[in-house]
C-alpha cells in the first residue's frame, strides 16, 4: 500500500511539474491583443524590426566623437516638424535633449502634420559642433542684442541624424509637401 501511495504522489508531482513548464511557454499576450502599427513609408524602404529606443540612441550619441558616424535604426516620436516643407524633424532623447533629423540628399520629406506620431528612422548619426565665434556671428546677423551675443560662451554641440528611410505612423490625409513641377515654356 505504501508503494502505491508513493507512486501516486510521484505521478502527481511529475504531472504538476509538466503543467508548470507548459504554462511558462505560453505567451503573456495572445495574438488578438497585439496591435500592429501601420506605417507610411518615405525614402529608402525600411522595416520596423530590430530598432533601438531613444534612450539607447542617446547612449550611442554619448560615445561619438565629432568626426564619427554610426548607422542606426530607431523607433521614437516626432517632437517637431519643419512647418514649411517637412524637410526636417526633431526627435526626443534622454534628459530633455533632442536630435535634429534631416533627410538624405533632400530626397524626401515627412508630413508637416506628423508631430506626435510614431516614427521609425534609418540612417547615420553624428555630432556637429558650431564654434562659439560662429554662433556669435550668427547672433549678430540675426540682429540679436549685445547682451544675447555676450551670453554665448561656448561651442554648440548638435546631435544630428541623416535619415535615408522613414516610416511614419499611418493616419488620414497626411500633409506632405510635393515640389511643384516646372513646365518648360
Spans of all domains in the chain: 39-129+156-169
In order, the DSSP letters of 32-81 are TT--PPPEEEEES---SSS-B-HHHHHHHHHH--TT-EEEEEEEEE--EE
Check whether 127 has a pLDDT greater than 70. yes
pLDDT tens-digit series, residues 18-38? 544 444 454 555 545 545 778
pLDDT score recorded for residue 91: 97
Phi-psi region of 10 (alpha: psi -120 to 50; beta: other; left: phi over 0): alpha
**Strands 118-130, 69-77: pairing kind:** antiparallel
**Long-range pairs of 132-136 with CB within 8 A, sequence gap ≥ 24:** 132/156
> Distance (Å, rounded) from C-alpha 141 to C-alpha 72?
35
> Distance (Å, rounded) from C-alpha 135 to C-alpha 130?
7
Check whether 54 has a pLDDT greater than 60. yes
Rounded alpha-carbon distances, angstroms, from residue 42 to 9, 65, 71, 144, 153: 63, 29, 18, 38, 39
- Please give the share of the chain, as a percent, with pLDDT higher than 70: 77
Answer whether 117's CB lies under 8 Å from 174's CB.
no
Question: Which CATH superfamily includes the segment(s) 39-129+156-169?
Answer: Nucleic acid-binding proteins (2.40.50.140)
Q: For residue 11, what is its C-alpha cell?
A: 505521478
> Distance (Å, rounded) from C-alpha 69 to C-alpha 88?
19
What's the whole-number mean pLDDT along residues 51-80? Answer: 95
pLDDT score recorded for residue 50: 95
Amino acid at each position: 500500500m505504501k508503494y502505491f501511495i508513493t507512486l501516486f504522489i510521484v505521478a502527481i508531482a511529475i504531472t504538476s511539474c509538466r503543467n508548470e513548464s507548459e504554462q511558462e511557454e505560453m505567451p503573456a499576450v495572445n495574438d488578438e491583443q497585439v496591435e500592429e502599427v501601420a506605417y507610411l513609408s518615405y525614402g529608402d524602404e525600411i522595416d520596423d524590426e530590430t530598432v533601438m529606443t531613444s534612450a539607447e540612441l542617446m547612449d550611442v550619441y554619448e560615445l561619438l566623437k565629432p568626426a564619427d558616424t554610426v548607422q542606426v535604426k530607431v523607433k521614437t516620436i516626432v517632437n517637431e516638424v519643419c512647418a514649411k516643407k517637412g524637410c526636417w524633424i526633431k526627435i526626443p532623447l534622454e534628459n530633455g535633449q533632442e536630435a535634429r533629423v534631416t533627410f538624405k540628399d533632400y530626397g524626401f520629406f515627412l508630413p508637416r502634420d506628423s508631430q506626435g506620431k510614431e516614427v521609425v528612422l534609418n540612417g547615420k548619426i553624428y555630432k556637429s559642433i558650431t564654434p562659439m565665434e560662429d554662433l556669435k556671428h550668427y547672433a549678430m546677423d540675426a540682429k540679436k542684442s549685445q547682451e544675447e551675443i555676450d551670453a554665448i560662451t561656448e561651442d554648440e554641440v548638435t546631435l544630428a541624424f541623416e535619415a535615408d528611410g522613414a516610416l511614419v505612423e499611418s493616419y488620414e490625409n497626411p500633409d506632405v509637401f510635393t515640389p511643384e513641377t516646372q513646365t518648360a515654356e
